[in-house]
Chains A and B, each alone.
Chain A
Amino acid sequence: MEFLGLLLEPLGYDFMVRALATTALAAIVCAVLSCWLVLIGWSLMGDAVSHAVLPGVVLAYIAGAPFALGALVFALIAVTLIGVVRSTSRVKEDAAIGIVFTSLFALGLVLISVTPSQTDLNHIIFGNLLGVSVPDLIQVLVLGVVAFAILILKRRDLTLYAFDPTHAHAIGLSPKRLGALLLGLLALTSVVALQTVGVVLVVAMLIIPGATAYLLTDRFSRMLVIAPAISALCSIAGIYLSYYLDTASGAMVVLTQGAAFAVVYLFSPRQGLIGTRLAKSRRKKAAAAAL
């Protein structure tokens, strides 16, 4: 009864309800996308795009345009620049990514510093979970549902792209277009998660859930269920923790996801460092008992 009371108390505040709804939604969409990102090896790309959208979001704010539009444009600019730097100079890809996204991120910070605004644009950087307004929630809802729907409807093509782009090409699909689709969805999803944990920590939500699920199953279709389930659960737990411990909400969400990964990393029966050993000794005992 006391536990139930602890769960229900924050729900008495509208801002907490909005925070929980936004977080759960962002967590689910990011987690689904993360399954592909970790398998393709695009984690760094996720990092890059989620940071590089900052100037786009600020410019969209100044122009009064939807954040998602600005974010998409700058995600595209970032990916193009990374490709250009990599292919036309001797600089390797990781360095190209590092140069482009930090520069664009810095541009965003500069733009924020010169933009007079009523809402604090710094909230974009660290998230402002407890200050989610109703229009914010609606925007996240619309973008989140669109991104989620596309990811789920095209999941088989995206998986094929991640696993064997040559075969995708051989059967008449366009790996280039599928890659572009995934990058576009990455930009869209970044905007969804901005609100929750902020630009700096979006990348956590785009990597940790997929990586965690990957340690738990050998089936991609199951990853697509496990990752969002864990992510949503951790995010909600993170918000409750931040409420009772009076800590930064976005950071708490990421910290909870990181803790969940650590637990799985150690105790997963398939891949876990300790879990695999426990399973082995249990089998040994069972064999000894059978004798």
Chain B
Amino acid sequence: MSTPAILVENVTVHYGEVLALDGASLAVEPARICGLVGMNGSGKSTLFKAIMGMVKPDAGRVLINGEPPAKARKKGGIGYVPQSEDVDWQFPLSVRDVVMMGRYGHQGFTRRPSKADRAAVDLALDRVELSEFAGRQIGQLSGGQKKRAFVARGIAQGATMMLLDEPFAGVDKRSEATITRLLKELAADGCTILVSTHDLHALPQLCDEAVLLMRKVLMHGPPGVVLQPEHLAMAFGLDVLNRDVPDAAVPDAGVSVPGVSNRPGRG
């Protein structure tokens, strides 16, 4: 079996007293699109942070293409598309400026852009169909265009892995389709994509696989299976009839779904 692009092994993270991740394990093969589903506080952002190495796990480890996250970051392989509410949309930068930030890892001490950098930025803008808006202030784009601008930053960076935090929040239907197509193209080129969302309807069209997260990985399999109501009930703590599901009904983290590889070393 090939080295997984993202390997999360028994990762536990505490914020003070709060347990954010409890022995979460996950393996995503290269060039796959994986949807991360869970409610607020289920540890989606923490899992992202652990993958990027922004929080140190109290236990367990993360490997990116078989290497520690720090090495993967230095290589410039990790692209990140932030959640809309984490961005200051009034910031005085143009779309081109933002995409150029993807090149900083490839540049010298003062990050002076070279011809190659400019060409990479133009290419990335073209790919996400934002060339005509390159000079706009970043906040003067529509919801979907904003997301595409950040995807372009990842493309310009040459990321082999992209993490997207709630990419469909505040995005209209048409832009959603555009983003879905774009991400699928990137995956076809070999980019591994991890999408966190609590917006479930867009997932089946986009993802090759889906993960249910509730501090640990409850389930990992094809979206059609994972997104079935009785499975979602485990992650969201409710079933379709809005009855509270007792804790005892939550299966062990080691649920495995036929047809999906389960990494060794898990229950």
Q: Please report A residues at the B interface, Cβ cutoff 8 Å.
A: 39, 153-157, 159-160, 162-164, 166-173, 214, 217-220, 222-223
A164–B101 touching, CB < 8 Å: yes
Contact status A220-B80, CB under 8 Å:
no
Residues in chain B near residue A157, CB distance under 8 A: 104, 111
The complex places the Cα of A134 from the Cα of B41 at a distance, in Å, of 60
CA–CA, A244 and B266, complex, Å: 81
Say yes or no: A169 contacts B110, CB within 8 Å: no
Distance between Cα atoms of A234 and B187 in the complex (Å):
55
A-B contact count (CB 8 A): 73
The answer to whether A166 touches B137, judged by C-beta atoms less than 8 angstroms apart, is no
Pairwise interchain contact B76-A220, C-beta atoms closer than 8 A: no
Known contacts A171-B73, A223-B92; 16 additional CB pairs below 8 A are: A153-B110, A155-B110, A156-B110, A162-B91, A163-B88, A163-B91, A164-B87, A164-B101, A166-B80, A169-B53, A170-B78, A171-B104, A172-B70, A173-B104, A218-B94, A220-B91
Which residues does chain B contribute within 8 Å of A159, judged by CB atoms?
Answer: 93
Q: What's the nearest-Cβ distance from chain A to residue B252, in Å?
A: 33
Of all A-B residue pairs in the complex, the 9 with the closest CB atoms, nearest first, are A171-B105, A156-B111, A218-B137, A172-B73, A172-B74, A170-B80, A220-B92, A170-B78, A218-B92
User: For the complex, would chain A's binding face be called helix, strand, loop or mixed by DSSP majority?
Assistant: helix
Give every chain B residue within 8 A of A153 (Cβ-Cβ).
109-110
Report Cα–Cα, A217/B104, bound state, in Å: 24
CB of B86 within 8 Å of the partner chain: yes
Question: Within residues 164 to 213 of chain B, which ones have a CB less than 8 A from any CB in chain A?
Answer: none
Q: Closest A residue to B137 by CB, please name it.
A: A218
Q: In the complex, A217→B111 CA distance in Å?
A: 23
Minimal beta-carbon separation of B211 from chain A (angstroms): 21
Q: Which secondary structure dominates chain B's binding surface? A: mixed
Shortest Cβ gap from A141 to chain B (Å) = 23
Cα-based distance from A218 to B82 in the complex (angstroms): 21
Asked whether A219 and B109 contact (CB < 8 A) given A164-B82, A164-B87, the answer is: no
Task: List the B side residues contacting A217 at CB < 8 Å.
Answer: 92
Q: From known contacts A160-B101, A171-B104, A172-B105, infer whether A166 and B86 are also in contact, taking CB-CB under 8 Å.
A: yes
Given A153-B110, A163-B101, A220-B97: A169 in contact with B52 (beta carbons within 8 A): yes
What's the nearest-Cβ distance from chain A to residue B94, in Å? Answer: 7
- Within 8 Å of chain A (Cβ to Cβ): is B223? no
Least CB distance, B170 to chain A, in whole angstroms: 18
| Given contact pairs A39-B88, A219-B94, A167 touches B153 in the complex (Cβ within 8 A) | yes
Q: Mark contacts of B100-127 with chain A using CB atoms, 8 A cut-off: 1 yes-contact digit, 0 otherwise.
A: 0110110001110000000000000000
Whether, in the assembled complex, B157 has its beta carbon less than 8 Å from a beta carbon of chain A, the answer is: yes
Closest chain B CB from A231 CB (angstroms): 17
B212 to chain A, nearest CB (A): 25
